[in-house]
Structure 1
Amino acid sequence: MIVEMTIQIRVTNFTAGQQWYQTLLNKQPDYVPHEGFAEWELIPGCWLQVAEGQPAEGSGPIRLGVINIEAERDRLMKQLQIERFDIHTREEVPVKWGTLTDPWGNRIGFFQYLNPIDSRSGGCF
């Protein structure tokens, strides 16, 4: 049985990467065990690790659920100077989603449930 999970993203400039992800996640790291490595607990038992190193080509995106994808996109455009990313929907899919790329080439996606009840059911996209 799986009881926890971690996802690791690598950045070539750790200081800039840690700052970028602090802004993206809107919080300080929860755990910094050593130089060149930081972790954020996104939800109980789910950790995002940012480590110094060469990014994995073609991986991702990691998708993060948000309450209001448009507001999150606007915040990130202002605070991280990211380019505006498209938000997509499909009739048969119960979410809207969009993807951006961090300065190191890692793809980060956001999604928002169209029906707020779905977000409480533990559904996944």
Structure 2
Amino acid sequence: MAIDLYAGIPVTDFAAALEWYSRLFGCPPDLLAGESEAVWDLAEHRSVYIRVQPTHAGHAMHNIFVDDLDAVIDELEKQGLQPAKLETYPNGVRKATYYDPDGNETGFGGGPLDT
């Protein structure tokens, strides 16, 4: 079975969110769908989008696992983004958590999955 992911993030201010997520993902969106939605393709069949939906903004939570978490953290620091939290779980998995201007959470994880 083929699996596609199209994960949505509700925001209040499209311009502010567009700028913030462009820094978070290191590039402009792959698609601007009108004046209130933008899409980033993170990998084949795996996309994240922002959409203006003020009544839902601030409640999204996403985790993205990467091969080199330290490299991601370093690159995001160059973009002016600092993790709000850095965690290491008992199994050795590490997580860096970032919050957009609305409070939506994006975490990046890496490390062993079965230590």
- Shorter-chain TM-score: what band? 0.7 to 0.9
Stretch of structure 1 that moved more, 27-36 or 17-26: 27-36
Pairwise CA distance, 1:70: 2.9
Aligned residue type for 1:103: P
Q: Which ranges of structure 2 fall in alignment gaps of 5 or more residues?
A: none
Identity %: 27
Residue pair 1:99, 1:108 contacting (<8 A) in 2 also: yes
- For residues 87 and 59 of structure 1, the distance between their equivalents in structure 2, rounded to whole angstroms, comes to 19
Pairwise CA distance, 1:21: 0.4
For 1:7, the equivalent position in structure 2 comes to 7
Residue 73 of structure 1 aligns to a residue whose secondary structure is helix
Cα 1:81–1:112 change in 2 (3 A) is closer
Aligned residue type for 1:113: G
For residues 79-118 of structure 1, the aligned pairs below 5 Å read: 79-82=79-82, 84-90=84-90, 93=91, 95-114=93-112
1:27 paired to 2:27: yes
Cα 1:51–1:94 change in 2 (3 A) is same
- For residues 13 and 71 of structure 1, the distance between their equivalents in structure 2, rounded to whole angstroms, comes to 29
Count of aligned residue pairs for this structure pair: 113
- For residues 6 and 66 of structure 2, the distance between their equivalents in structure 1, rounded to whole angstroms, comes to 19
Cα 1:40–1:59 change in 2 (3 A) is closer
